[in-house]
C-alpha cells in the first residue's frame, strides 16, 4: 500500500495532543504545588484511551442498531469483502448491516483480527456493485491501517483535554485575593483554547486518515473512479437523508465514509475532508494509472 506523508502528520498531531495534556498537567502541578497531579491526569488519560479503544466497535454498532449478517443472508456482500481481504493478505472482517436509510458505511474493531465493516441499508440500495466494492476497499483499509486505534486515541485525548478545561473552569476561579496568578492564566488558556485546539486537531487527524483510506482503498479495489462515483452519490444521498443529530451518533460520526449529518455539519470541526476534494484526488489518481 501507499507510504503516506499523511501518516507522519497524523502521529505529529497525536504527539501535539499529548504535549498539550502534559503542558496543562505541568501548569496544574505548579499552580497547586502538587507534582503528583500530572501523574493523576496522565493515568486518567491512559484509562480513557484504553476504554475508548477496547469498546469502539460495541459502542458504534449499538448506536447504529446494527446486526450481524451471515454468508447465507448476504452472499454477494461476503464474496466482495472476502475477495478484497484476500487481495490485501489480511483477515476477513465481520459484516454488519444497520437498518437506517442514510447511505453510509464504517469500519471498526480494535485490530485487523477483530475488524467489522458495517453498511447501512441506505448505501446497499443506493450504490452499484462496482461502487460498493470500492467503498468496501476504503473501509477495509481503515481496519488494516489501524485507523480505529488512531481515531480512538485522538477522540479520548481530545475529550480528556476538554475535561481539563472544565477542571480549570471549576477550580481556576477560586481563591479570592490569595488566588495564584498562574492558576488564573491556566484557567483562561484552558477554558478558551483547550477545547478548540482539541477539536481542530482531532478533525485534522480524521481528515488525514480519510484521504489515506481513499488512496489505499482505490489501490486495493483497483478502481479509483468507482470510489469517486460512490462518494458523489453518497454526498447527495446523505444531504437528502442525513442521520438525525444525536449525541450517540456524534461519537462515531468520524468513522463513516461520508459525513452522516450532511451540509449541516460544522465545517471548522468537520471530521471529513470536502467531498469535492476527495473526488478530485481520486480522479487524478485514476489519470496516473
How many Å apart are CA 168 and CA 25, to the nearest integer? 11
Name every residue whose Cβ is closer than 8 Å to that of residue 257 and which is 6 or more positions away in sequence.
104, 105, 106, 135, 138, 139, 210, 231, 234
CB of 269 closer than 8 Å to CB of 203? yes
Catalytic residue among 83, 129, 139, 276: 139
Q: Provide the grid cell at 248.
A: 450517540
| Residues 6+ away with beta carbon under 8 Å from 199 | 158, 268, 269
Q: State how far the alpha carbon of 203 is from the alpha carbons of 42, 60, 158, 209, 271, in Å.
A: 23, 18, 10, 10, 4
Residue 23's nearest CA partner among 8, 13, 36, 38 is: 38
Q: Is 139 a catalytic residue?
A: yes
Phi, psi for 269 (deg, rounded to 5): -105, 20
Q: Which ranges constitute the DSSP H helices of 55-180?
A: 56-63, 75-88, 121-126, 129-144, 147-171
Distance CA 133, CA 50 (A): 32
Q: Which residues are annotated as catalytic?
A: 139
Amino acid at each position: 500500500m501507499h507510504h503516506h506523508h499523511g501518516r507522519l502528520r497524523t502521529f505529529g498531531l497525536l504527539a501535539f495532543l499529548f504535549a498539550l495534556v502534559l503542558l496543562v498537567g505541568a501548569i496544574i502541578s505548579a499552580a497547586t504545588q502538587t507534582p503528583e497531579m500530572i501523574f493523576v491526569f496522565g493515568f486518567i488519560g491512559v484509562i480513557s484511551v484504553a476504554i475508548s479503544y477496547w469498546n469502539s466497535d460495541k459502542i458504534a454498532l449499538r448506536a447504529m442498531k446494527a446486526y450481524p449478517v451471515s454468508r447465507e443472508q448476504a452472499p454477494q456482500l461476503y464474496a466482495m469483502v472476502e475477495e478484497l481481504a484476500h487481495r490485501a493478505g489480511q483477515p476477513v472482517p465481520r459484516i454488519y448491516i444497520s437498518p437506517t436509510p442514510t447511505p453510509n458505511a464504517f469500519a471498526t474493531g480494535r485490530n485487523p483480527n477483530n475488524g467489522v465493516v458495517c453498511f447501512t441499508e441506505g448505501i446497499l440500495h443506493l450504490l452499484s456493485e462496482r461502487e460498493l466494492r470500492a467503498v468496501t476497499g476504503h473501509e477495509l483499509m481503515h481496519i488494516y491501517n489501524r485507523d480505529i486505534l488512531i481515531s480512538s486515541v485522538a477522540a479520548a485525548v481530545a475529550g480528556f483535554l476538554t475535561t481539563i478545561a472544565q477542571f480549570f473552569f471549576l477550580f481556576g476561579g477560586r481563591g479570592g485575593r490569595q488566588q495564584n496568578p498562574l492558576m488564573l492564566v491556566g484557567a483562561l488558556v484552558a477554558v478558551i483554547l483547550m477545547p478548540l485546539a482539541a477539536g481542530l486537531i482531532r478533525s485534522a487527524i480524521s481528515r488525514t486518515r480519510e484521504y489515506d483510506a481513499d488512496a489505499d482503498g482505490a489501490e486495493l479495489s483497483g478502481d479509483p473512479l468507482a470510489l469517486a462515483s460512490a462518494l458523489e452519490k453518497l454526498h447527495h444521498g446523505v444531504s437528502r437523508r442525513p442521520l438525525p443529530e444525536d449525541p450517540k451518533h456524534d461519537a462515531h460520526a468520524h468513522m463513516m465514509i461520508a459525513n452522516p449529518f450532511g451540509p449541516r455539519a460544522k465545517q471548522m470541526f468537520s471530521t471529513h475532508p470536502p467531498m469535492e476534494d476527495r473526488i478530485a484526488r481520486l480522479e487524478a489518481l485514476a489519470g496516473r494509472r
